[in-house]
Structure 1
Amino acid sequence: MFQLGKTIVSEDILEKEFVCNLSACKGACCVDGDAGAPLTKEETKILEQIFPKVKPFLRPEGIAAIEAQGTWRVGTDQDLETPLIDEKDCAYVIFDGSTALCGIEQAYNQGVLDWKKPVSCHLYPIRVKDFTEFAAVNYDRWDICDDACSLGKELQVPVYQFVKEALIRRFGEDWFSELETVAAQYQKSPRRR
């Protein structure tokens, strides 16, 4: 672990390699698990505002889940999260054939929104946990992402590079620049040889 400003960062994001492989996993992270995507308080307000624009992109069962539960919910661990369909799929998930995609991101890609999706989704496989004085930045290893780990290793893309845009979105350009400096030093360190 190392500190960057008000974050404590796991070295795993420098060491591990990762590139999403949708053709292999079919977007399993949007339909597996036992909770919705983590949300910030600000994102709950955004979801409330954009729902009318996102609604045409969603499946009927997703719309029904959102209309029943709200555009966001408080999960069993008291964290804010996206609602689920029958406690499985994210209510915002859509399908292209057998591949799960984000309805919010589809609306963004078509120019309907200027907000891509919840930052926790954009950051995955990095998870950020906010505490009073700092935020913990960790790599979240999930077996459904084995193909992404294999592809990342093949392409030699460290986790932090794969999620560069999302890290900048969450922490800013200066923070990411500092992270790149740490990563360069880390690669040269004796323990990496």
Structure 2
Amino acid sequence: MFQLGKTIVSEEIINSDFVCNLQACKGACCVDGNAGAPLEEEETKILADIFQDLRPFLRPAGIAAIEVQGTYVKGEDGEWETPLVNEQECAYVIYEGKTAKCGIEAAYNAGAISWKKPVSCHLYPVRVQEYSSLTAVNYHQWHICDPACSLGAELKVPIYKFVKEALIRKFGAAWYAELEEVAREYQQSP
């Protein structure tokens, strides 16, 4: 671990490789698990505000789940998250063939909304945990992402480069520049 400003960062995001491999995993991170995607407080308001613009991009099952549960829910851990369809996939999931994708991102890519998706999804496999005085930035290893680790190693793309846009979105360009400097120092050390 190393500290950048008010963040504590795991070396794994520098030393581990990762590139999503949707052909192999079929978007399992949006389907598997026992909770929705983590949401920040301000993201709950965004989801409520943009829901009507998202509707044309969502599946009927997702729309039904959102209409019953709301555009966001409080998870078992007391944190905000996206609702689920039948306690399985995220309600905002859409399918292209057998591959799960994000309906929010589809609406963004189509120009229907100006918000890409929850930052937790954008950052994945990086997970952020807020504490009173520091924020932890960690790599979340999950067996369903083994193909992404293999592809990342083959392409030689460390996690922090794979999620560059999301890290800048979350922490800013100056923070990311510091992270790149730390990564250079790690690569030069014996």
The 3-state SS of whatever aligns with 1:13 is: helix
Give percent identity, aligned residues only.
67
Q: What residue ranges of structure 2 are gaps of 5+ in the alignment?
A: none
**Offset from partner CA, 1:128-163 (integer Å, 9 cap, x none):** 000111100000000000000000000000000000
2:18 is matched with: 18
Give the distance between the partners of 2:58 and 2:112, measured in 1 at CA: 14
1:101 has 2:112 as partner: no
Give the distance between the partners of 1:153 and 1:127, measured in 2 at CA: 20
1:64 has 2:61 as partner: no
Q: Structure 2: which amino acid aligns with 1:80?
A: W
Q: What residue ranges of structure 1 are gaps of 5+ in the alignment?
A: none
Runs of 4+ in 1 over 2 A off after TM superposition: none
Q: Structure 2: which amino acid aligns with 1:32?
A: D
Q: Following superposition of structure 1 onto structure 2, how do residues 96-135 of structure 1 map, counting pairs within 5 Å?
A: 96-135=96-135
TM normalised by structure 1 equals 0.98
1:78 is matched with: 78
2:141 is matched with: 141
Q: Structure 2: which amino acid aligns with 1:92?
A: Y
The count of residues paired between Structure 1 and Structure 2 equals 190
Deviation at 1:101, TM superposition (A): 0.5
Deviation at 1:168, TM superposition (A): 0.1
2:187 is matched with: 187
Q: Structure 1: which amino acid aligns with 2:173?
A: E
TM normalised by structure 2 equals 0.99
**Offset from partner CA, 1:105-135 (integer Å, 9 cap, x none):** 0000001111000000000000000011110
1:49 is matched with: 49
Give the distance between the partners of 1:144 and 1:34, measured in 2 at CA: 14
1:38 has 2:6 as partner: no
1:150 is matched with: 150
**Offset from partner CA, 1:34-88 (integer Å, 9 cap, x none):** 0000000000000000000001110011001000000000001111100000110
Give the distance between the partners of 2:175 and 2:77, measured in 1 at CA: 29
RMSD between aligned alpha carbons? 0.4
1:172 is matched with: 172
Q: Structure 1: which amino acid aligns with 2:45?
A: K
